């Protein structure tokens, strides 16, 4: 079930030109630190989700002194490409320019990387981004609403920060409030529905990994009290206009709220050991994979960055089961991690 057959990077990160052909479904990029192993996963991630999980700007992705970078992937008999410039990027399918809206979801991936180890204790913004990366691949309507709401939030915030006395700020923010009211309820609804469907799958996967029935749950919690309808959002903005003007910030934004994980009835950060947190993360990866299979009949490609250094032997065995029936790309500094792997492996040294 080979999916990605070839990856080509031009002037991307530290790879001036890298062309790789894949012959097995389990591919290992191995080598010393700083050689660009994770950069290759990042290239696949950009082709999948439109953006990397670790970029701060387009310029970060381009080799020094170059004006652009290019990534190409041969996936399921089609050639996908993206041209990355400092302030924009373009996507192509078989040399025909494709809008990002149409491109997203074409190459489904799931990512597991060391940065995710701080998912539970990190910021709520990072937790929302973690799930947004997944949802924008699966739901075009979610992505459209997220883009519109993000733009409206940015414009409204700029208006609220104006200090000139002669400016009627409430009138300036009114059109942005209307856009937020039209989009935020849909964003919240899709987040809640997805997490509600994911929760029982997560529970099943964690029980398999841990060998017990400790209750685990994940849910969305809003940061403000309002009815999640268009009328409810507008009513909130009307009642809380004075507070927003005083604080000079927008109180209902696409990144407002939090994804809350609980274990044994308490927030996971209050009750879970470090090992238990890793088990939940592994169960979350398996749950998202199963969710895609059950609801969309999609088998995602797994991008696993340096995971073996973060998992003990028992969790490594469970990871192997998660990798069944899909294409997987690993990075590691020690290819010995895969000596007992029960699948054929393509080992590629990156140097």
Give the tens place of pLDDT for each residue, 25-82.
999 999 999 999 999 999 999 999 998 988 888 899 999 889 999 999 999 999 999 9
Beta strands 301-305; 15-21: pairing state: unpaired
Give the tens place of pLDDT for each residue, 92-108.
999 999 998 889 889 99
Kindly report which listed range (174-183, 311-320, 334-343) carries the lowest average pLDDT score: 334-343
Mean pLDDT of 303-328: 85
Confidence grade of residue 2 (pLDDT, cut at 50, 70, 90): low
Q: What is the pLDDT of residue 31?
A: 92
Token readout for 87 is: 């302030």
**Coil, strand or helix at 258:** strand
Q: Is the pLDDT of residue 1 over 70?
A: no
Rounded to 10 degrees, the C-alpha dihedral 160/161/162/163 comes to 110
Stronger pLDDT, 36 or 319, i.e. the higher one:
36
Mean pLDDT of 128-139: 91
What Rg, from alpha-carbon coordinates, does the chain have?
22
Could you give the domains of the chain? 1-108+299-351 (3.40.50.300), 124-295 (1.20.1050.90)
The residues facing 312 across adjacent strands are none
Q: What is the pLDDT of residue 72?
A: 98
Among 183, 255, 247, 262, residue whose Cα is nearest residue 215: 262
Q: Which of the residue ranges 112-121, 282-291, 315-324 has the most confident prediction, judged by mean pLDDT?
A: 282-291
Q: Are 277 and 120 in contact (CB under 8 A)?
A: yes
Confidence grade of residue 210 (pLDDT, cut at 50, 70, 90): confident
User: What pTM was computed for the model?
Assistant: 0.88
Q: What share of the chain is helix, strand, coil (3-state, %, to 5)?
A: 45, 25, 30
Total count of residues recorded for the chain = 351
Q: Is the pLDDT of residue 211 over 90?
A: no
Q: What is the pLDDT of residue 342?
A: 73
Q: Is the pLDDT of residue 236 over 70?
A: yes
Q: What is the pLDDT of residue 318?
A: 84
Mean pLDDT of 290-299: 91
Across the chain, mean pLDDT equals 92
Q: What is the pLDDT of residue 163?
A: 76
Edge-to-edge strand list for the sheet holding 4-12: 15-21, 4-12, 68-75, 78-85, 89-93, 96-98
Q: What is the pLDDT of residue 315?
A: 82
**Coil, strand or helix at 254:** coil
Q: Are 330 and 29 in contact (CB under 8 A)?
A: yes
């Amino acid at each position: 079930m080979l999916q990605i057959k070839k990856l080509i990077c031009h002037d991307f990160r530290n790879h001036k030109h890298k062309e790789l052909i894949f012959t097995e479904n389990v591919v290992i990029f191995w080598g010393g630190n700083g050689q660009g192993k994770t950069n290759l996963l990042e290239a696949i991630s950009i082709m999948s989700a439109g953006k990397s999980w670790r970029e701060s700007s387009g310029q970060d992705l381009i080799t020094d002194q170059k004006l652009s970078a290019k990534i190409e992937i041969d996936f399921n008999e089609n050639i996908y490409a993206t041209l990355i410039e400092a302030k924009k990027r373009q996507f192509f399918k078989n040399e025909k320019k494709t809008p990002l809206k149409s491109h997203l979801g074409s190459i489904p991936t799931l990512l597991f990387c060391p940065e995710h180890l701080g998912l539970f204790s990190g910021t709520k913004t990072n937790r929302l981004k973690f799930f947004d990366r997944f949802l924008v691949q699966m739901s075009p309507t979610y992505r459209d609403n997220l883009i519109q709401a993000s733009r409206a939030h940015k414009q409204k915030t700029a208006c609220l920060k104006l200090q000139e006395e002669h400016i009627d700020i409430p009138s300036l923010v009114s059109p942005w409030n209307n856009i937020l009211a039209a989009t935020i309820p849909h964003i919240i609804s899709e987040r809640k529905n997805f997490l509600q469907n994911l929760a029982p799958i997560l529970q099943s996967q964690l029980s398999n990994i841990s060998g017990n029935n400790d209750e685990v749950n994940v849910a969305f919690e809003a940061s403000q009290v309002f009815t999640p309808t268009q009328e409810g959002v507008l009513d909130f903005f009307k009642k809380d206009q004075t507070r927003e003007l005083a604080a000079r910030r927008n109180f209902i934004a696409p990144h407002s709220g939090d994804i809350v994980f609980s274990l044994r009835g308490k927030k996971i950060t209050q009750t879970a050991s470090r090992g238990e947190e890793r088990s939940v993360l592994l169960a979350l990866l398996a749950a998202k994979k199963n969710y895609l299979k059950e609801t969309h009949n999609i088998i995602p490609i797994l991008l696993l960055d340096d995971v073996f250094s973060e998992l003990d032997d028992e969790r490594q065995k469970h990871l192997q089961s998660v990798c069944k029936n899909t294409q997987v790309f690993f990075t590691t500094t020690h290819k010995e991690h895969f000596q007992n792997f029960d699948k054929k492996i393509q080992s590629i040294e990156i140097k």
